[in-house]
Amino acid sequence: MTPVKICGITRVEDAALAAELGATWIGFVFWPGSPRFVTRAAAADILAAMPPHLTGVGVFVDQPPAEVDATAAQVGLGAVQLHGDESPDAYLVGGRRVIKALRVAPESSESAADAVWPGATLLLDAFDPVRMGGTGRQVDWTVAAAIARRRRTILSGGLRAENVQEALARVAPYALDVSSGIETTPGIKDSARMRAFFDAVRRAAPPSPAGPIESTSGAQS
């Protein structure tokens, strides 16, 4: 099965279901501007209750490296996901495991992605002038497919059970990231939608094994 990250986790029961269904990662949003914001203490409690195979990923937007470091240490994160205009020099320190989000605008091209933290895992999400993710908007899959052929890519943006098989067939990403497509309200996951999403991913072919998230420093999770 293609690796799946369930993002915007705020409740232990949603994280537990993600683990049961075979998620590889769960994402916690530490940007205060998000409706899915969660505190360090809450995220740490949730992650501590999960099986060891489930890795926590922290989502940040232009937050200081020291804050990112402290959050990762307190929560026990396996990787950080950056959605702002962060500089690689400031965040790729000590082999930190990093995912860099790229918001794909209508005029985006695969060549533009080459300049974004070369060698890093990219997460492709739909462009929004205000919201930094979780918009429910679909990425241009033609552009996403071209990027996925050149870079290790996690596909996000408007994914749900009804379209994920087509997304996998057209884009062939390394992994998937879903949040709003399995929610009732922001931060509250719907168990039926989550089960349907994983069922659809499992029915897609060909399966791909889970692997490490890589950073530009070559670190692995």
Q: Which residues are catalytic, by number?
A: 7, 125
107, 115, 129 from 6: Cα distances, Å:
28, 27, 23
| Cβ pair 142, 120 in contact under 8 A | no
Helices (H), 23-118: 40-48, 65-75, 88-91, 110-113
| Cβ pair 214, 152 in contact under 8 A | yes
Helix (H) or strand (E) holding 98: strand 98-104
Backbone CA torsion sign across 217, 120, 203, 49: positive
